[in-house]
Homo-oligomer: A and B are copies of this chain.
């Protein structure tokens, strides 16, 4: 069944550094080579770079958009989902995946990390947020040193979802 395929979300900011763009493209390429379907928020920055990387390797990309029109999707989104629910769509981005890779990102990305952790969906981080909870470090975001490590960890953890 194709719906047994793994879906991995790539989340990150709309204003990434050039290093983050490169990481996102590489993550996208590696996910595509593994036959994974890439889910994201459908807009620019990290989302666009990841979709571009995945597309370059023939991978499938899903963009879950906040607004009312699929015209807002970046040009590498093959499956634009138009929610019309604004940032509440962040919940759907992570819930549609069996693991999440966070690259950089601002508060929108942080909300997606939080929604994923709340739902028990593993989060792998590249240059992203780290968390301290009432003075104690929270290690729920699994760090990765590079795109290859992030993809490997995400694939391993997604198996158990």
Contacts and interface: CB of A to CB of B under 8 A. Distances in A.
Contacts of A5: 78
Contacts of A2: 78
Interface string A71-113: 0010101111111111110011001100000001011101101
Contact of A107 (B83, B117, B130): B117
B82 A85 contact: no
A160 interface: no
B111 A95 contact: no
A83 B95 contact: yes
B80 A96 contact: yes
Interface of A: 1-3, 5, 7, 37, 62, 64, 68, 70, 73, 75, 77-88, 91-92, 95-96, 104, 106-108, 110-111, 113-115, 117-119, 127-135, 140
29 contacts: A2-B78, A3-B75, A3-B77, A5-B78, A68-B119, A82-B92, A82-B95, A83-B95, A84-B86, A84-B87, A84-B92, A85-B91, A85-B92, A87-B91, A87-B115, A87-B118, A106-B118, A107-B114, A107-B117, A110-B110, A111-B111, A128-B133, A129-B132, A129-B133, A130-B131, A130-B132, A131-B131, A131-B132, A132-B132
